[in-house]
Structure 1
C-alpha cells in the first residue's frame, strides 16, 4: 500500500511539474537551465575533500565546496581571494593569518566561520588519507590551527615556506572548508576510527559545503546531479542544474553529443574529433592538460651515465611523428618540467629531431657504434605506441631498444626500485604550483623522479630547496628556471609533450572556459543560449 501511494503521489507531482527529481537527458536538452556533461567518472570513490584524490572526485569537490583561496577560471599562475578576503605572514615566516568574509554560508544555512576552517584542516591531518600530504608537508598539526575570532584564522607552519607554494596548496581540493556542525552530526565509530571517523563515511556520498553547487544526487555508475546554490556569496551559477552523466567510452560521448543528449563531451580523442569535423551545431575546444609525458633515463651506469648520450637520445626523438601521428595533433611539445599554465613555464623548444647531431654526440661519448638498451612501458595507449616511435628513433643512431610492456602493477614498482634502463612515463601535478613538479624532477633528496633515475645533482637540489623557502615570487621562479636549464642539458629525462584536452561543445553553450583538469573547472561560468 505504501508503495502504491508513493507512486501515485509521484505521478501527480510530475503532472503538476512540481517534482524536483533529476531530469532525464532528453528533457535536459530542451531546458536552458540544465547543463548535461558526458564524461568518464568511473574513478569516483568519495566526495569527501579529505579523501578525494581521483580525477572525478576532486573535480566535484571543486563545485560543491569553497576554499580560503581559489584559482579563477582560466588563470592558474596564482590563487586569489575566496573565503579569505586577506592574509598576511608574520616576520617569522611561519605564522599566517587569514581574514574571512562575513557573508559566506554553508548549504545548511550555517555561517562559515574560523572554527569550520580549523575543523576542516584538523580532520585532514587526523584522517591522514591520500591527499593529506598537501597540508602536512608544511608541518601542520591540530595544534598549528587556531580560530582567533569568528572571522580570523591563524595557521603556524613548522618553518618558513615560499608563500606561493603554501597559498597554492590552500587552493587545492583537500583544503576545502566543510560545515563542521553538519559533519560532526554524522560522525560514526568504525573499526579504523573507534573514536569516530569525523564524518568520513557519511561525506563519501554526501556533502557539507558552501560552494556554487549543492549535491543533489550521486547515482553510482550513472550520474551526479548538482543544483545551483543561488545564495552563494559571489559565484552564483548561470544554470539551475548540472548533470554529470557517466559515459566512459569516448565514442559514446561523441555520439551523444551529436544527438544532442549532452551539451559537453569531456575529453575526446583524435578519432572522435575527426569524426566530428563539419558536424553542425557543435565545435571543439582545446586546452593543454597539466600532465607531462616523458622518458626517464636511469643514469646509474653504462652509456646512460654519460650526459652526451642522454643529449643524443633527446636529439634522436621524432617529436613531430609522436605529436602528429600517435597523438593525432592533440599534444604540444614541451622541454620543461613546468607545464603550460603554471608560473615559470617556458615555451622554448631546445630539442628537435637532428639525427646528425645525435650521431656526433654518440661519437663524442665513445659510443659511435651504438649499444643495446631496454625501455619499460605500460600497456595502455598511447604508451606502447610511443615506445615504438622511440625504438625506431634510437635505431637511427645505432641504439637497439627492447620494449618491455608491463601492467601498472609491475611497471611502477620497477621504477620506484630503480630497476629500469629507460621508462615511458608521465607525471601530473598534485597542486597548482611549479614546486609540485620542480621538486620531484630536480631534487633527488625528495626521493621521487630524480632519485628513481639515480640522478643526484646537488646544484639542482639546492636550487629547488631555495625556491621552496623564497618568499619573493620572482626570485622563486628564477630558481626553477635555473634548475630547468640544467635538467634540459644534463638531466635524466626526455620531455615529450603535454596532451591537449579536447572537449566537444554544443554551439549554444556560453561561458565555457576549457580547463587543464577537472579540478580547475568552474561550472558556474557556463550558460545555455
Structure 2
C-alpha cells in the first residue's frame, strides 16, 4: 500500500481498483461489472473461513441468474424477480430454498417540481391517488414487500403506519382539474433496467396514470446513466429506491425532507422551509416521545405536500441451493451485507 501513496491523496486512486484489507478473504481478481474473486485468508485472526473461495458474478439479467442457479453454475441468486421466486415456490423446485426478510428502505416515485405540472401540489396529490398500490405489492412483488406510504420504514422510531392513499381515480381527476390540468399532461418517467422489479412497476404506474389522462413515457437505463441526471434535477419523474444509511429516522428525514442538502428533496427541486426546519429540530431532540411526535408531523407533511409517492417498503429476497448453509443477511442497512465466514456448503 505505502508504495502507491502519492502526496496528498493517501493511495485513494490505487484503492479504486485494489484491496488492502485484513479480513477473512483476499481479493485475487476484480473486473468492473464482471466478477469479484476472493480466496480465504489463511492468516485471518479468527481462523480460516469454511468456504475457501468466493466468486461474486455481476449478472444484471434476472433470467440469466435463474438459469445459472437451476443449472448449478451458481449457488446463490439475490436478484430474481418476485414472479420467478413465486414460480419456484409453486413448482417446489428441488434443491432450492427461498429466503425473504423485511428490508431497510423503500421504493418511491419522485416528481420534479421544476416541471410545470408537478409544481402544483394538487397534481402531485392526484398522482398519489391514481396509483394502485395493491397491484404493485400483490401483482408485481407477489406479496414480497410491506405497505408503506411515508418515508420512515417499519421498525424505526417515528414510523408512521398511516396509509392515506388508495387508488381513487375520481379524486385524482378532481385534483388534476383543481391544479389546472383537467385533461392531464405528458411526463417522462425514468427508471432502472435491468432490474428485478422497476420495469414492471413502471408499467403499472404508466397504466394507472393513463386512466386519469397523464400520458407517461417510460425511459430506462442503468444506475450509471440515470443517477447523474437525477442528482442534477434533470428528470421529470423517476421510479427509484432509498435505503437507510444509519439506524435513525434522521437518516430518512434529511434526504426526503431537507431541501438544503443535495439529496432526494433537492433532486426533485422541492424546498419547504417548515419541513427543513422540522428535520433539523427533530435530529437534535433528545426526548423520544417528542421526537416521535415531530416525525409524525413531518412524515404527514411530506406525504401530502412533498414530491414523492412512496410505494412500499423493500423486502430483501434471495434463492440459494439447499446445500448452502449459514447464508444470512447480517445487520445491513442501505446495502446487502453477508458474513462469508458463516457460510458453508453441506452436501448430503
Q: CA shift at 1:452, angstroms?
A: 3.1
Corresponding position: 1:310 with 2:118: no
CA distance in 2, matches of 1:309, 1:202: 47
- Consecutive unaligned residues of structure 1, counting only runs of 5 or more, are 1-185
Q: CA shift at 1:466, angstroms?
A: 1.5
1:83 is aligned to none
- Decide whether the 8 Å contact of 2:115 with 2:236 is kept in 1: no
Residue of structure 2 aligned with 1:217, choices 28, 51, 68: 28
**Is the partner of 1:426 in helix, strand or coil?**
strand
**Is the partner of 2:167 in helix, strand or coil?**
coil
Residue of structure 1 aligned with 2:100, choices 286, 308, 323: 286
Higher relative contact order, structure no. (Cα contacts within 8 Å, ≥ 6 residues apart): 2
**Is the partner of 1:276 in helix, strand or coil?**
helix
CA distance in 2, matches of 1:202, 1:247: 20
1:522 is aligned to 339
Corresponding position: 1:270 with 2:88: no
Alpha-carbon distance change, 518 to 369 in structure 1, aligned in 2, over 3 angstroms: closer
**Is the partner of 1:438 in helix, strand or coil?**
helix
Pairs within 5 Å for 1:328-367: 328-340=142-154, 342-363=156-177, 365=178, 367=180
Q: Cα deviation per residue 1:243-270 (whole Å; 9 max; x = unaligned)?
A: 2342525444434444555443333223
Alpha-carbon distance change, 458 to 237 in structure 1, aligned in 2, over 3 angstroms: farther
Residue of structure 1 aligned with 2:250, choices 435, 438, 446: 435
CA distance in 2, matches of 1:451, 1:206: 34
Alpha-carbon distance change, 202 to 320 in structure 1, aligned in 2, over 3 angstroms: closer
CA distance in 2, matches of 1:340, 1:405: 31
Q: What is the RMSD of the two structures over their aligned residues, measured on CA atoms?
A: 3.6
1:497 is aligned to 312
1:243 is aligned to 54
- Decide whether the 8 Å contact of 2:149 with 2:165 is kept in 1: yes
Q: CA shift at 1:493, angstroms?
A: 0.8
Residue of structure 2 aligned with 1:394, choices 183, 199, 209: 209
The normalised TM-score by structure 2 is: 0.78
Q: CA shift at 1:497, angstroms?
A: 2.5
Alpha-carbon distance change, 481 to 524 in structure 1, aligned in 2, over 3 angstroms: farther
The normalised TM-score by structure 1 is: 0.54
Alpha-carbon distance change, 231 to 280 in structure 1, aligned in 2, over 3 angstroms: same
CA distance in 1, matches of 2:65, 2:230: 34
- Decide whether the 8 Å contact of 1:284 with 1:504 is kept in 2: yes
Number of matched residues? Answer: 335
Alpha-carbon distance change, 406 to 275 in structure 1, aligned in 2, over 3 angstroms: closer
- Decide whether the 8 Å contact of 2:145 with 2:314 is kept in 1: yes
